[in-house]
Chain A
Amino acid sequence: MDSYLPIEAYLKNELSAEERKAFEAQLQTDSELRDKVDDFRLIFDGFDGLRIAAMEANIEQWTQSLPRPQADRPSPTIGRRVFMRWAAAACLIGLLATAGWWFLSQNNATATPLALDNLYIQPTLDITRSGDAGASPFQNGDILFSQGQFEAAIQALQAIPTTDSNYLDARYLISHAYYRLDQTEAAINGFDQSLQLAKTPQYYKALFEADNAQWTRLLADTKAYNSAPSEAKATQLQQAIDAFIAQEPEASYLQLAQALKQQLQQ
């Protein structure tokens, strides 16, 4: 076994430069060791290949379970005529439905506030939440936010400079804090800013919760509507919900948006 350990360390690039040099010098003269290294290299590479193949199978499986629209869109090249007919029919139905809705809204125009219970989804910033209190302004703000101290969280997070790698997450969390404090206008502005920042190369983050930012912005719109419901505001809110749904967010957000839309239509 003693001879195996350095082979494994060599093949896994775990030897220091000096040890590596010495081992390679030994390889030059020891043909038995050379054979062993070649064999184990093949075996380890085979194991790597098996692991990669397993991951490929996982990728395939994950892809199959990705969120998809409920009805597949028709292909742009196949069935175009059928699609056009359906599209025309849908337009007509949409037109009639809009006219009907407008007619009803003119005759039954008492807009009511919407219930927002169970529609809010907490932001998840797990990477930083594990830090100790006070370890950094961002972690500090994050901890204050999770403790429900929203004003203190805003104050801590606002100290984060634009050059900080957590700047985007800080703006995002500040917007959530404003939302929780019912400062809807500040929340809406904050989410808009976060969503814009997330598109720029400087702040781009693969794991930025764009769906959550857009959804909570929509909830802030709903709070604004609730403060003084009117038919005009209801129409605007409905358009905002439709725009959110059209972006095909993750299934959980899609369901919430549909529930909110249903509530608005009742």
Chain B
Amino acid sequence: MNKKYPQDEAILLKIRNGDQAALKELHSAYWPPFRAYCNKSKGLDEEAILSIYARSFTIFYHNIVHEKINPPLQSSLKTYLFGIGNKSILKYWNDTYRKRVTSVDEWHDKPGDHLEPDINRYYEQNARAKLVKKLLDQLDEPCQQLLQLSFLEENADDAIAAKMDIPSTGAVRQRRFKCLEKIRKLLNQQKKAAADG
């Protein structure tokens, strides 16, 4: 099957793989048309547009990493973002005129999918992130640094070896395993405490 948007798909995969530069480039590239659209078609002021753009782009990013937007793309990435933007504009108007329009939709307050809000997934991951952060803070400094470089900054093992002055990539893997075991032990203590409490 012919790809309609091969370049957009390549960008999408880069972002999904953690390419921050590609995401930032897209963020800059889409801003002028998004801003012009909100200003000229919707008559929104600058502050509102900025807030809507931040929200829309965050949801757009979530949808990419959580595989809500997948190749083969049926529309360009820009169209996806603008689709989310339209929903965000509705939410903005809804919030602005809340006194007249009643809305109790919880998903409006958290990033979700513009087509199928997956709020449970969002909350679940958010809760797990908080828990892991808490456990990470209890680890010793070298373990914190090693796990941070591995899983948050997604460094390759050779880069981690160089940064942390570890003799080999094999040693990096060994140490990471030990650190993960430590964090798992803390997790189980936490689970036990929760069960006992």
Contacts and interface: CB of A to CB of B under 8 A. Distances in A.
B173 interface: yes
B62 A52 contact: yes
Nearest to A209: B29
21 contacts: A39-B188, A42-B128, A42-B131, A45-B128, A47-B152, A49-B132, A51-B151, A52-B65, A52-B129, A59-B23, A59-B54, A59-B57, A63-B27, A69-B46, A72-B47, A74-B45, A76-B44, A204-B76, A206-B8, A206-B30, A206-B76
B32 interface: yes
B151 A44 contact: yes
A73 B45 contact: yes
Given A50-B133, A59-B54, 15 more contacts: A40-B184, A43-B135, A43-B180, A46-B125, A46-B130, A47-B129, A55-B23, A59-B57, A60-B58, A62-B27, A66-B28, A76-B44, A165-B7, A206-B7, A207-B26
B143 interface: no
Interface string B171-187: 00110010011011001
A202 to B, nearest CB: 9
Contacts of A90: none
Interface in B30-65: 30-32, 35-36, 39, 43-47, 50, 53-54, 57-58, 61-62, 65
A145 to B, nearest CB: 20
A58 B78 CA distance: 20
Q: Top 4 A-B pairs ranked by shortest CB distance?
A: A49-B129, A46-B132, A47-B151, A46-B128
Contacts of A204: 76, 78
Interface of B: 6-8, 11, 18, 20, 23-32, 35-36, 39, 43-47, 50, 53-54, 57-58, 61-62, 65, 76-78, 111, 124-126, 128-133, 135, 147, 151-152, 154, 173-174, 177, 180-181, 183-184, 187-188
Interface string A30-50: 000000100110111111111
**Which range holds the interface residue count of chain A?**
35 or more
B129 A53 contact: yes
A56 B58 CA distance: 6
Contacts of B188: 39
Nearest to A76: B43
Contacts of B78: 204, 206
Contact of B187 (A43, A51, A68, A75): A43
A4 B175 CA distance: 12
A131 to B, nearest CB: 15
A248 interface: yes
Contacts of A161: none
B152 A42 contact: no
B169 to A, nearest CB: 13
B45 A62 contact: no
B21 to A, nearest CB: 11
Contact of A4 (B35, B111, B177): B177
A191 to B, nearest CB: 17
B126 A49 contact: yes
A22 interface: no
A58 B77 contact: no
Interface string A200-212: 0100111100110
Given A39-B184, A43-B183, A64 B128 contact: no
Given A1-B173, A47-B132, A165-B6, A66 B50 contact: yes
A49 B131 CA distance: 10
B132 A50 contact: yes
A56 B128 CA distance: 16
A46 B174 contact: no
Contacts of A52: 61-62, 65, 125, 129
A99 to B, nearest CB: 30
Nearest to B185: A39
